[in-house]
Structure 1
Amino acid sequence: MINFGEVNETNKMVEQENLDVRTITIGISLLDCMDSDLDQLNTNIYNKITTVAKDLVKVGKEIENDYCIPIVNKRISVTPIALVGSAACKSPEDYVTIAKTLDRAAKTVGVNFIGGYSALVSKGMTPAEENMIRSIPQALACTDFVCSSVNVGSTKTGINMDAVRLMGQMVKETAQYTKEQDSLGCAKLVVFCNAPDDNPFMAGAFHGVTEADAIINVGVSGPGVVKTALEAVRGESFEVLCETIKKTAFKVTRVGQLVAQEASKRLGIPFGIIDLSLAPTPAIGDSVAGILEEIGLEYAGAPGTTAALALLNDQVKKGGIMASSYVGGLSGAFIPVSEDQGMIDAVTAGALTLEKLEAMTCVCSVGLDMIAIPGDTKATTISGIIADEMAIGMINQKTTAVRLIPVIGKGVGETVEFGGLLGYAPIMPVNPYGCDAFVNRKGRIPAPVHSFKN
């Protein structure tokens, strides 16, 4: 059991080191909402969400007040909408009505984001799934809180290159649809390989079809806590370094465990997983890049960066799994550029490039995240970048993702301001050479030989 002594130990972390519970996310199954009539489907979806999640924000605030632990976001994830809408939606425009319903439900219950405007197409696409994917640009342009994701590959199935090609086009269209907001819609769109069913972090969250009718997942974050702990062992051996990270991750995860148990009890919804991901914010000191620098790098991106990130990711997971029986999701360290002031500084200094970020994704939690690129980048180039990242996930049996933002009307050397947790980002250069002939091949890249384990 968790005791109040453990809670008191976190006071300094909360007050001085940016420790927070990044999100309480209710996952809600919409499978029982399915109907062949579009109007009835939308009514069912709205009623289910607003009933199950009606007390989420209130309970989150109560837990904050009772334990003095900041809970930054209260979120909802739902069953992938490509499945839910398959019987009723005959066009992309039909799917957009569901996006609007999700947005309206999110506003009614007062959450920050709702995820699950998603499709799982790692091996092939049905007509309904293609319609849903083609609806994404319009859906993200006409909603405020809806987040979208598409899983286009897995270790078991390979990479659906038809979906990869289509997603390059959708990223560009989403950028165009939201160009008046510096292509902000792309910040709510993730392309996955090996997407987990129980991820509470946006924009990639959805409620997996293997999950219960409703579930509580909690995401905890504390880059500042880890950095502060490492400052006390500066210059010590790798053994001391690793032990310090593990112990700190353990303490951070226990905070999430407490919040998850309380939320589950008060909402009457089963507890799913704790996701211990060092997710940075633009706040000074709340940076994964800052941890890498404390480990011994001049800037993130310097030689040794991938090794340092691998060490960090592994020790965070080792500490987390000792603190909770249900650690899952994407636990480890995120490296989003726009949300991490240290990453932004490294890009500005010329220490961190898109190619180095790709190398780092081999050992981190997700992938190429919140990276602003020139608005005139071709759709096929975006598809090529997606394909590279999906290959890393497929071969290494890990989750990888891409969240690129081609900012319409802006180029290398300019910056784009997203605001809030999304921060700001310098526009990064993209390799100018084409991959059109590769991307335009039909079909899929087969699963690797080590996928045959059954």
Structure 2
Amino acid sequence: MLNIMEVDETNKMIEQEKLDVRTITMGISLLDCTAGDVDEVCERIYRKIATKAHDLVSTGQAIERDYGIPIVNKRITVTPISLVGAGACQSPEDFVRIAHALDRAAKEVGVDLIGGYSALVSKSMTPAERMLIESLPQALSETDIVCSSVNVGSTKTGIDMDAVELLGRMVKDIAYSTRDNDGFGCVKFVAFCNATDDNPFMAGGFHGVTEGDVVVNVGVSGPGVVSRALDATRGSDFETLCETIKRTAFKITRVGQLVAQEASRRLGVPFGIIDLSLAPTAAVGDSVGEVLEKIGLAQVGGPGTTAALAMLNDQVKKGGIMASSYVGGLSGAFIPVSEDKAMIDAASTGNLTIEKLEAMTCVCSVGLDMIAIPGDTTAATISGIIADEAAIGMVNQKTTAVRVIPVYGKGVGEVANFGGLMGYAPIIPVNQTSCEEFVSRGGRIPAPIHSFKN
């Protein structure tokens, strides 16, 4: 438990430095909801979510009141739906019916988002997985809080390029289906390599098949806390800088640990993991980009950015991992463009390009995240971007992801607005040199030589 000194420090972090717990996420296995009939699957899914997550929101609100710790989102993750619906779904439209059941159940219990409308296709696709992917434009445009992910590769299996090629077309179709809302459907979709089973953050969260029946995971935040702590390190050497970040990450994670333990106890559900990622918002003073600038960059995106981010990510993990025995999820520093004020500003001036962002993904928590691109970007180009990012994850044995939003009717320099935590983003240019022949070859890119560990 927190001691009195930690309580005082925590109060200051909450009141002055924008500390919050970004999410309490309940993971629910739906493997026992399978059936041979789609209506039966939908009914079982609805009943299980409504039963297991009935008290999730009220419990989160009670913890907020009792401890004074803001908990921004309450969320649910479920077993990848391509597995749950495989025995019943005969068409993409059947999977859409399951998406609606997820949406209804999540709204019934009052959560902000539900993740797990997902497929794991790192080697190849089953017919059910292909149907789920083909259902994405309809499912994400017709539901409000359902989030989706597709894992297209891993270090052990390589990259499924058939899925990568298909996803390029689906991202375009999702954007077109939600074109009246700046392609908002794409905000709810992410393509992964090396996806984790216990990620509490959206849009990529799902409840992996290695997990138990029900579990509570917590994602903390806190870039504003780190930024404020770095004010005292101006002119100091790297040793002082690193120690400051580590100590701050420890304190942030301790808050998440407290919330996770309380949520687990009150809900009677096992505690899973703390994801100690620095998750920014578009608000001033709550920015990973600002942290990088306080480390010494004139503006994020300039020379030194990747090195600064690598150091930040490492120190966050070193400090946070000492505060909890169960650190998991993605854990590190997120760099979503639309959700980070300093990165929005850097992208607006042209200092932060998609190529620089790709370099930064080699050392950050995830990958190319919440990036608005011109609506006329081709499907093949989007597939190429996904393939590049998956290759970084595959070779470097880390999780990488792509969440890009083609904005129909808008071009470079215009702004896409997503609202709430999702923020807003300047539309940035994308290299349009054709890669269609490459992404259309079919088959898969083999796993790298260092994947053979047996």
Calculate the TM-score normalised by the size of structure 2: 0.99
Match of 2:292 in 1: 292
| Equivalent in the alignment of 1:143 | 143
Correspondence for 1:160: 160
2:433 and 2:101 map into 1 onto residues whose CA distance is 42
TM-superposed deviation, 1:235? 1.2
Alignment-mate amino acid for residue 159 of structure 1: I
SS at match of 1:191: strand
- Find the residue that maps to 1:333 and give its secondary structure: coil
For residues 313-354 of structure 1, the C-alpha deviation after alignment (integer angstroms, 9 at most, x for no partner) is 000000011000000100000000000010011111221100
Comparing 76-85 and 8-17, the one that deviates more: 8-17
Quote how far apart the aligned CAs of 1:16 are: 1.1
Cα distance in 2, alignment partners of residues 297 and 5 from structure 1: 33
Q: Give, as a single letter, the amino acid of the residue that structure 2 aligns with 1:136.
A: L
Report what 2:302 is aligned to.
302
- The one-letter code matched in structure 1 to 2:239 is E
User: 1:49 matched to which residue of 2?
Assistant: 49
CA deviation after TM superposition for structure 1 residue 430, in Å: 0.4
Moved more, 3-12 or 415-424: 3-12
Please name the residue that 2:102 is paired with: 102
Q: What pairs with 1:267-286 in structure 2 (closer than 5 Å)?
A: 267-286=267-286
Counterparts of 1:53-202 in structure 2, within 5 Å, are: 53-202=53-202
Offset of residue 8 of structure 1: 2.9
The aligned counterpart of 2:18 is 18
In the TM superposition, what is the alpha-carbon distance from 1:2 to its structure 2 partner? Answer: 3.2
Match status 1:451 vs 2:451: yes
SS in 1 for 2:322: helix
Counterpart amino acid of 1:307? A
Instruction: Give the secondary-structure state (helix, strand or coil) at the position aligned to 1:108.
Output: helix
Q: Over residues 248-292 of structure 1, what are the superposed CA-to-partner deviations in whole Å (9 max), with x where a residue is unaligned?
A: 000000000000000000000000000000010011000000000
Shift, 1:4, TM fit: 4.9
CA distance in 1, matches of 2:211, 2:3: 29
Deviations 1:151-189 (CA, angstroms, capped at 9, x unpaired): 000000000000000010110000011011111000000
The question of 1:7 aligning with 2:16 is answered no
- How far apart, in 2, do the equivalents of 1:88 and 1:186 lie? 27
Give me the whole-angstrom Cα distance separating, in 2, the residues matched to 1:331 and 1:432.
33
Which letter does structure 1 place at the counterpart of 2:291? I
The letter of the residue matching 1:422 is M
What is the DSSP-based 3-state SS (H/G/I as helix, E as strand, rest coil) of the residue aligned with 2:115? strand
**Alignment partner of 2:139: what SS?**
helix
What is the rounded CA distance, in whole Å, between the counterparts of 1:9 and 1:284 in structure 2?
Answer: 21
In 2, the alpha carbon distance for the partners of 1:406 and 1:242 equals 38
Report the counterpart of residue 435 of structure 1 in structure 2.
435
Counterparts of 1:3 and 1:34, CA distance in 2: 46
Task: Render the CA deviation track for 1:72-111: whole Å, top value 9, x for unaligned.
Answer: 0000000000000000000000000000000000100000
Query: Contact 1:290–1:342 (CA<8 Å) still a contact in 2?
Result: yes
**Partner in structure 2 of residue 370 of structure 1:** 370
Q: Write the distance in 2 (CA, Å) between the matches of 1:400 and 1:306.
A: 15
Q: Report the 3-state secondary structure (helix = DSSP H, G, I; strand = E; otherwise coil) of the residue aligned with 1:398.
A: coil
Percent of pairs with identical residues: 74
Give the alignment of 1:369-388 within 5 angstroms. Answer: 369-388=369-388
What is the alpha-carbon distance in structure 1 between the residues aligned to residue 176 and residue 4 of structure 2? 51
Do residues 394 (structure 1) and 421 (structure 2) align?
no
Tell me, in whole angstroms, the C-alpha distance in 2 between the residues paired with 1:240 and 1:217: 32
Count, aligned residues? 454
The residue type equivalent to 1:371 in the other structure is I
Q: For residues 418 and 350 of structure 2, what CA distance do their matches in structure 1 show?
A: 22
Q: Deviations over 1:379-435 (max 9, x none)?
A: 000000000000000000000000000001110011011110000000000002110
- Bigger drift between 4-13 and 240-249 goes to 4-13
Q: What are structure 1's unaligned runs of at least 5 residues?
A: none
Aligned to 1:325: 325
- Code of the residue aligned with 2:44 in structure 1: it is N
Query: Which amino acid letter does the alignment assign opposite residue 366 of structure 1?
Result: V
Deviation at 1:5, TM superposition (A): 4.1
Give distance in 2, aligned partners of 1:231 and 1:47: 50
C-alpha separation between the residues in 2 aligned to 1:33 and 1:412?
45
Instruction: State the match for 2:361 in structure 1.
Output: 361
Pairing 1:204–2:204 present: yes
Deviation at 1:3, TM superposition (A): 3.5
CA-CA distance at 1:9 after TM superposition: 1.9
Gaps of at least 5 residues in structure 2 are none
Counterpart for residue 241 of structure 1: 241
Are the counterparts in 2 of residues 306 and 363 from structure 1 also a CA contact under 8 Å?
yes
Counterpart for residue 216 of structure 1: 216
Question: Tell me, what secondary structure is at the counterpart of 2:429?
Answer: coil
**SS of corresponding position for 1:246:** helix
Judge conservation of contact 1:193–1:400 (CA < 8 Å) in 2: yes
- Secondary structure in 2 aligned to 1:210? coil
Letter in 1 for 2:303: P
Q: Which amino acid aligns with 1:390?
A: A
- Counterpart Cα distance in 2 of 1:9 and 1:78: 35
Residues of 2 paired with 1:42 and 1:2: CA distance?
43
Secondary structure of 1:425's partner? Answer: strand
- 8 Å contact from structure 1 (residues 7, 255) kept in 2: no
Q: Distance in 1 between matches of 2:413 and 2:281?
A: 22
SS in 2 for 1:429: coil
Deviation, structure 1 residue 25: 0.1
Distance 1:9 1:437 in 2: 56
